[in-house]
């Protein structure tokens, strides 16, 4: 039996060479000074494999289109067995991979392991670091929530500032004008189709270069070498296991943030990139106006070029870590600068940005002002009535209460115009891809009234939604339906053909107003106002509305 096994393995190795390759890999000679400080590269490769595996599992239930992406992700997290764990492993694994890659590069930099003949190994490592950030950038948009959408808007705007190639880059990413379906498709294609094989090739090439030139020994290491297996491999395995334990605990204990569905109209949202780009976001605050390309493009470009040029700038002989004071100073300054900028960006994040579907902030009520609806025009009050009728509060906040599916309609700083709103009401999914909002089946006049109300709405007058009496709103709708504004003026809005109606309640009784509607010529000889036949309920509503109008 042993002879048969030996012959099978010999035949397999002769045809494939796999056994010999594995043996050479495991039993390669490495410096005797190798140890725990060199485990980061292996951990980085392990985490990349975790990302690839969890990404494939997520792809089985992920819908790569705007809107559907958001809903499919919620489905994965809430319905698919193990979905929340896999999503957590993929999300937090991305952050951990960036941390480990940075630690690996820092270790190589401090020990001077980039020196001759390992210049190419270092430069390929820099490219791998940039690809790791590219994975984070392209994957950031894929949940298609508000946080991801607006963070991508900021990031792509920075890219469009690159001199000469900025406009081409914007067109390539599909962001020439706005972030939408094309942008999503490009980011998804890069994240799933382009970056993984490119990363795999460069990882294999990087490992090949490491093996070709050997692991860099510690300066002064003149002792005997040792085999990679079993001692160093055991250290690598322990480090990978520890990293996975941390990642697993993060996945099960820390919920991945998922905000509401991406809303391109929510201009009140203050965008924030992911944590590893916060330092750059904060840096841009020091370069405003014409200087913005300096912080957005020039400084990062200089930093990347400096990383590539490091082996050629530092051509001294390898020295002990304690003697590499310049390298230690560079790492300390970079760490302090990055930490300070990141902390400043976190501290400047508005509280509203911390609200997610997974963890809303405590409810805060807006104190309604007494009779705040008196300052609204009839058309705006009619729109408020339609706002209530369509139950818009079920999906939208007007105060800093618990997070809802739609954006806060009172705190929008830059609003779309009425024409855009009307088209959005008719076909929400056309203007906001992936929107779950149903079409509003009202006439154009009523939709225009609803848009007028939303344009008037602010955090200061949001209390009108709950404080305005129902009969007043119904009266305003009747006023608009009858086109009373073509002859009368209310709160400065309307025509002057008839008398202004502000303060009519102080001049006329309820009965007089009701009789006037029934037969205007009888009470106002010569009036050209046509008689109106209202139901008792509608008559009470229009009379109550007119009686409520304040004197001007």
pLDDT in tens, 85-107: 999 999 999 999 999 999 999 99
| Percent of the chain topping pLDDT 90 | 39
Q: How far apart are CA 149 and CA 271, in angstroms?
A: 8
Residue 277 has pLDDT above 90, yes or no: no
100 in the same domain as 198: yes
CATH number at residue 405: 1.10.760.10
**Structural domain contains residue 457:** yes
Residue 164 has pLDDT above 80, yes or no: no
443 in the same domain as 400: yes
Residue 316 has pLDDT above 50, yes or no: yes
476 in the same domain as 457: no
Residue 268 has pLDDT above 80, yes or no: no
Residue 25 has pLDDT above 60, yes or no: yes
Confidence class of residue 247 from pLDDT cuts 50, 70 and 90?
very high
The pLDDT, as a whole number, for residue 403 is: 72
The pLDDT, as a whole number, for residue 252 is: 95
Residue 135 has pLDDT above 70, yes or no: yes
**Structural domain contains residue 365:** no
178-203 average pLDDT score: 93
Q: How far is CA 274 from the centre of its chain?
A: 8
123-134 average pLDDT score: 96
Residue 188 has pLDDT above 90, yes or no: yes
Higher pLDDT, 257 or 523: 257
**Structural domain contains residue 139:** yes
The pLDDT, as a whole number, for residue 480 is: 92
**Structural domain contains residue 54:** yes
Residue 370 has pLDDT above 80, yes or no: no
Residue 222 has pLDDT above 70, yes or no: no
For residue 227, what are the β-bridge partners?
A: 29
Helix (H, G, I), strand (E, B) or coil at 227: strand
40 in the same domain as 109: yes
| C-alpha pair distances (Å), 467 with each of 51, 207, 332, 366, 369 | 52, 69, 58, 11, 8
For 145, list phi and psi in degrees, rounded to 5.
-100, 175
312-328 average pLDDT score: 84
345-367 average pLDDT score: 50
440-464 average pLDDT score: 89
504 in the same domain as 482: yes
Mean pLDDT of the chain: 85
CB-based contact 416:455 (threshold 8 Å): no
- Which of 467, 484, 501 corresponds to the end of one domain? 467
440-449 average pLDDT score: 92
478-503 average pLDDT score: 87
438 in the same domain as 303: no
For 292, list phi and psi in degrees, rounded to 5.
-60, -40
- Which of 427, 452, 467 corresponds to the end of one domain? 467
147 in the same domain as 68: yes
349-371 average pLDDT score: 42
105-117 average pLDDT score: 91
Residue 501 has pLDDT above 60, yes or no: yes
Q: How far apart are CA 13 and CA 369, in angstroms?
A: 84
Q: How far apart are CA 170 and CA 79, in angstroms?
A: 37
158-162 average pLDDT score: 74
- With 0-12 / 13-18 / 19 or more C-beta atoms within 10 angstroms meaning exposed / middle / buried, residue 317 is exposed
Confidence class of residue 354 from pLDDT cuts 50, 70 and 90?
very low
Contacts of 21 (CB under 8 A, 6+ apart): none
Higher pLDDT, 343 or 461: 343
164-192 average pLDDT score: 85
Give the residue carrying structure tokens 């990293």.
243
> And the tokens for 94?
């991305």
- Which of 432, 467, 502 corresponds to the end of one domain? 467
CATH number at residue 187: 1.20.810.10
Full domain range(s) for residue 90 = 34-351
**Structural domain contains residue 287:** yes
Q: How far apart are CA 54 and CA 176, in angstroms?
A: 32
For residue 489, what are the β-bridge partners?
A: 494
400-405 average pLDDT score: 74
Residue 361 has pLDDT above 60, yes or no: no
Residue 465 has pLDDT above 90, yes or no: no
> And the tokens for 317?
């002989």
Q: Which of 3-17, 376-390, 475-489, 502-516 has the lowest mean pLDDT?
A: 3-17
438 in the same domain as 482: no
Give the residue carrying structure tokens 């914007």.
170
The pLDDT, as a whole number, for residue 265 is: 63
Total of domains in the chain: 3
Higher pLDDT, 121 or 368: 121
Q: Which of 65-69, 294-298, 346-350, 365-369 has the lowest mean pLDDT?
A: 365-369
| Percent of the chain topping pLDDT 70 | 93
Residue 279 has pLDDT above 50, yes or no: yes
**Structural domain contains residue 357:** no
Confidence class of residue 47 from pLDDT cuts 50, 70 and 90?
very high
Helix (H, G, I), strand (E, B) or coil at 426: helix
Residue 359 has pLDDT above 50, yes or no: no
Higher pLDDT, 359 or 215: 215
Q: How far apart are CA 199 and CA 118, in angstroms?
A: 20
342-349 average pLDDT score: 87
Higher pLDDT, 157 or 298: 298
The pLDDT, as a whole number, for residue 414 is: 67
**Structural domain contains residue 494:** yes
The pLDDT, as a whole number, for residue 146 is: 85
304 in the same domain as 290: yes
Confidence class of residue 408 from pLDDT cuts 50, 70 and 90?
confident
User: Integer distance in angstroms from the first to the last C-alpha of the chain?
Assistant: 107
> And the tokens for 250?
């993060």
Q: How far is CA 450 from the centre of its chain?
A: 29
Give the chain's length.
552
Q: How far apart are CA 552 and CA 542, in angstroms?
A: 20
235 in the same domain as 315: yes
453 in the same domain as 515: no
Residue 352 has pLDDT above 60, yes or no: no
The highest-confidence range among 217-221, 376-380, 398-402, by mean pLDDT, is 376-380
Residue 367 has pLDDT above 60, yes or no: no
The pLDDT, as a whole number, for residue 177 is: 62
523 in the same domain as 399: no
**Structural domain contains residue 90:** yes
The pLDDT, as a whole number, for residue 420 is: 87
């Amino acid at each position: 039996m042993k002879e048969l096994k030996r012959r099978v393995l010999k035949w397999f190795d002769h045809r494939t060479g796999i056994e010999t390759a594995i043996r050479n890999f495991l039993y390669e000679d490495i410096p005797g000074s190798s140890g725990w400080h060199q485990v980061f590269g292996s951990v980085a490769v392990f985490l990349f494999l975790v990302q690839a595996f969890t990404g494939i599992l997520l792809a089985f239930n992920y819908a790569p289109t705007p809107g559907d992406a958001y809903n499919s992700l919620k489905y994965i997290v809430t319905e698919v067995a193990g979905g929340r764990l896999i999503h957590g492993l993929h999300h937090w694994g991305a952050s951990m991979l960036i941390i480990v890659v940075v630690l690996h590069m820092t270790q190589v930099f401090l020990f001077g392991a980039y020196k001759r003949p390992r210049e190419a190994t270092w430069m390929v490592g820099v490219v791998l670091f940039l690809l790791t950030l590219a994975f984070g950038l392209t994957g950031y948009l894929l949940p298609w929530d508000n946080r991801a959408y607006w963070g991508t808007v900021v990031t792509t705007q920075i890219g469009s500032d690159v001199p000469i190639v900025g406009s081409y880059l914007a067109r390539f990413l599909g962001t020439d004008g706005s972030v939408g379906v094309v942008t999503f498709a490009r980011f998804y294609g890069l994240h799933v189709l382009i970056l993984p094989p490119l990363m795999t090739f460069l990882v294999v090439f990087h490992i090949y270069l490491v093996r070709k030139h050997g692991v860099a020994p510690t300066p002064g290491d003149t002792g005997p070498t040792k085999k990679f297996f079993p001692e160093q491999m055991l250290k690598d395995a322990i480090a990978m296991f520890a990293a996975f334990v941390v990642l697993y605990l993060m996945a099960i204990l820390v919920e991945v943030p998922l905000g509401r569905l991406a809303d391109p109209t929510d201009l009140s949202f203050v965008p924030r990139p992911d944590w590893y780009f916060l330092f750059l976001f904060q840096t841009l605050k020091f370069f405003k106006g014409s200087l913005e390309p300096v912080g957005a493009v020039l400084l990062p470009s200089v930093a990347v070029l400096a990383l590539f040029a490091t082996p050629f700038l530092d051509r001294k002989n390898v020295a002990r870590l304690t003697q590499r004071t310049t390298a230690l100073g560079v790492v300390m300054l970079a760490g302090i600068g990055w930490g300070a900028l990141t902390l400043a960006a976190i501290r400047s994040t508005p509280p509203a940005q911390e609200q997610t579907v997974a963890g809303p902030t405590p409810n805060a009520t807006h104190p309604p002002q007494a009779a705040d609806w008196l300052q609204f025009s009839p058309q705006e009050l009619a729109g408020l009535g339609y706002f209530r009728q369509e139950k818009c509060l079920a999906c939208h906040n007007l105060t800093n209460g618990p997070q809802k599916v739609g954006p806060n309609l009172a705190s929008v700083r830059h609003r779309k115009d009425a024409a855009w709103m009307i088209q959005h009401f008719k076909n929400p999914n056309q203007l906001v891809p992936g929107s779950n909002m149903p079409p509003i089946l009202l006439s154009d006049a009523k939709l225009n009234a609803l848009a007028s109300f939303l344009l008037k709405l602010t955090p200061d007058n949001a209390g009108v939604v709950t404080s305005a009496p129902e009969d007043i709103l119904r009266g305003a709708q009747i006023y608009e339906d009858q086109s009373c504004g073509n002859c009368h003026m209310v709160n400065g809005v309307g025509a002057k053909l008839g008398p202004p109606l502000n303060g009519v309640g102080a001049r006329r009784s309820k009965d007089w107003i009701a009789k006037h509607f029934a037969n205007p010529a009888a009470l106002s000889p010569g009036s050209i106002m046509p008689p109106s036949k209202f139901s008792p309920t509608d008559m009470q509503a229009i009379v109550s509305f007119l009686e409520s109008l304040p004197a001007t």
